[in-house]
Structure 1
Amino acid sequence: MTDKISVNSSSKLTEAISMLTAMFREKKFVVVSLRPGKDRTLDQNALWFALYERIAQMTQIGDVEDARRYCKLHIGVPIMRADDADFRDGWNRIFLNLPYEQKLELMGACPIFGPDGFPVTRLFNRAQGIAYTDRIVDDFTAKGVFFGDLLGEVAA
């Protein structure tokens, strides 16, 4: 039994304490993990997919999955390496010296990491997700990709 709850109000805090108490009474052993901040939103995931689609349409990068792999490797990995010492150490030890094509391949669906590829964006906190979005837009706007209509739709 695994439960996850976001505490953002007094009533949610009470609910979380009740869940923890009930689980402890039943199992007598509970592992608790806490962290501040918000989870990524579905809107953010939808926006990323729309950005990947636009990149695929307006560049020679390939299809949507190629754009996703490219962004994860070139934008997401540097964000995680800068912000998370454990991620950076693991990346440097295991992936740093792999050939570029292999790194890019591992960012997408593969037998080792499953359908989503090597975990990068799913590890983001909210601020990292915002930085990722901003860097995608900045990098690809400089390459002639227009995102204004996508960003306006999400903000509305």
Structure 2
Amino acid sequence: MVEKISVNSQAKLSEAVTMLTRMFRDKKFVVVSMRPGKDRTLDQNALWFAMYDRIAKSTEMGDIEDVRRYCKLHIGVQILLNEDVEFQQAWYRVMRHLPYEEKLAMMGECKLFGPDGFPVTSLFNRAQGVAYTERILAEFTPKGVFFGDLVGEVAA
């Protein structure tokens, strides 16, 4: 059982101490890792899901999950293929030969990879996350999707 909590308020600190105390009482051994700073995935994930929602509402691509799968496969995979040799090797070995519809389906919830699907955006570093956001903007802004309120004014 792995628990992760971001402490950004007195209430969250109290929750973390309570969780740690409970784990120690139940298991007698607990490994704790801490680091200062903000978890980039929380802010980026919130932005991405707002973007997916906007795309879903502004296009005929389907629902949020359909858009998420599309963006992961068409944008995220390309970023990792270009920048991560290990990912590239694994992709070519495991996924490349699959039909498009199967690859697309695996980007979302599936039994093999769990609720988040094939890992793509979770592997990003900060720069790759920024590139992903920029590429979503570049692809969908010209198609009439407005993101200005989510990321600031976007030039069309």
Q: Which amino acid aligns with 1:108?
A: G
> How does the TM-score come out when normalised to structure 1?
0.74
Higher RCO structure, 1 or 2 (CA under 8 Å, sep 6+): 1
Aligned partner of 2:34 in structure 1 is 5
Quickly say closer, same or farther: Cα 1:76–1:3, change in 2 above 3 A: farther
Consecutive unaligned residues of structure 1, counting only runs of 5 or more, are 9-37
Q: Over residues 46-72 of structure 1, what are the superposed CA-to-partner deviations in whole Å (9 max), with x where a residue is unaligned?
A: 100000000100111100000000000
> How does the TM-score come out when normalised to structure 2?
0.74
Consecutive unaligned residues of structure 2, counting only runs of 5 or more, are 1-29
Alignment of 1:37-116 (within 5 A): 40-116=40-116
Runs of 4+ aligned structure 1 residues displaced above 4 Å come to none
Aligned counterparts of 1:140 and 1:108: Cα–Cα separation in 2: 20
Q: How much identity, in percent, do the aligned residues show? A: 64
Aligned counterparts of 1:2 and 1:69: Cα–Cα separation in 2: 34
Aligned partner of 2:6 in structure 1 is none
Query: Which secondary structure does the structure 2 equivalent of 1:142 belong to?
Result: helix
Q: Over residues 62-120 of structure 1, what are the superposed CA-to-partner deviations in whole Å (9 max), with x where a residue is unaligned?
A: 00000000000000000111111000001011111110000000000000000000000
Q: How many residues align?
A: 124
Q: Is the 8 A contact 1:39 1:126 kept in 2?
A: no
Aligned partner of 1:149 in structure 2 is 149
Aligned counterparts of 1:78 and 1:4: Cα–Cα separation in 2: 32
Q: Is the 8 A contact 1:70 1:104 kept in 2?
A: yes
